[in-house]
Structure formats: structure tokens, C-alpha cells
Structure 1
Amino acid sequence: MPAKSKAQQKAEGAALAAKRGDAKKSDLKGASREMYESMSEKQLDEFASTKRKGKPEHVSKDK
């Protein structure tokens, strides 16, 4: 499942970096920390590899 916004993709990228050992887990906050704990490296890689072009900065939670 691809990221739906630039902010979501950035959070997933931060969680992926921590999962791979390129960043410290203690530096993660909010959504990226939750993603680190609940998703596998493969899942994070799939989400974070989404292209950013044409994506909104944020997506509202309302549907």
C-alpha cells in the first residue's frame, strides 16, 4: 500500500532508517515511532518507496 501524503512517506522513511540501523530509535516521535514498532522492514520499504510527486503534504483524517 503506497503512502497517501508526503508527510506519511517521510515518517515511514524515518522509521525505515531506524529499522535498518541508520538512525536512532530514540530520535523517532509520533507516527514514525508507532510505524517502527508495528511494521516490518519490508512493509516500511514498500510504503517509503512511493513517489512524492503529486502527493499532498498532508491528508485529512476525515473521509
Structure 2
Amino acid sequence: MPAKSQAQQQAAAVALSVKRGEARKDELRGASKEMYDSMTEDELEELASTPRKGKPEHKG
């Protein structure tokens, strides 16, 4: 499942870094916090690795 926007890709990247222990959990806010709680590391990796080229900044 590729990211639909740059914002979604960035939120997944932040959540993934916390899952891996590279960042602190108290740094999570909004979408990245929800993603951290509801997605596996593999799912976050897939979203975070989506190329940004051609993606809108925000979906909507």
C-alpha cells in the first residue's frame, strides 16, 4: 500500500523510526502516533519507502 501523499509518507517515516528505537515515542503527534499504534514495522516500512515524486503534499 503506497503512501497517497508526502505528508502520509513523512508520518510513516517518523512512526517507523520510533518503532526501530531511533527516536523517542513522546515525539509522536497526530497521524504518526496513530500509525505507530495501529501498524506493523513492515507496513510502516512500505509506506515510508514510497517515492515522493509526483505525490501531492497533502491528500484532499
User: Whose Rg is larger?
Assistant: 1
What corresponds to 2:31 in structure 1? 31
Query: What one-letter code is carried by the residue in structure 1 that aligns with 2:32?
Result: S
The CA deviation at 1:3 is 0.2
What corresponds to 1:44 in structure 2? 44
Query: What one-letter code is carried by the residue in structure 2 that aligns with 1:4?
Result: K
What corresponds to 2:55 in structure 1? 55
1:5-20 pair list within 5 angstroms: 5-20=5-20
**RMSD, matched Cα:** 0.4
- Deviations, residues 21-59 of structure 1 (Å, cap 9, x unaligned): 000111000000000000000000011100001100000
The whole-number CA distance in structure 2 between the counterparts of 1:38 and 1:25 is 14
- Runs of 4+ in structure 1 displaced over 2 angstroms? none
SS state at 1:46 partner: helix
Unaligned runs of 5+ in 2: none
Quote the sequence identity (%): 63
TM-score (norm 2): 0.98
Count of residue pairs the alignment pairs up:
60
The whole-number CA distance in structure 2 between the counterparts of 1:47 and 1:7 is 11
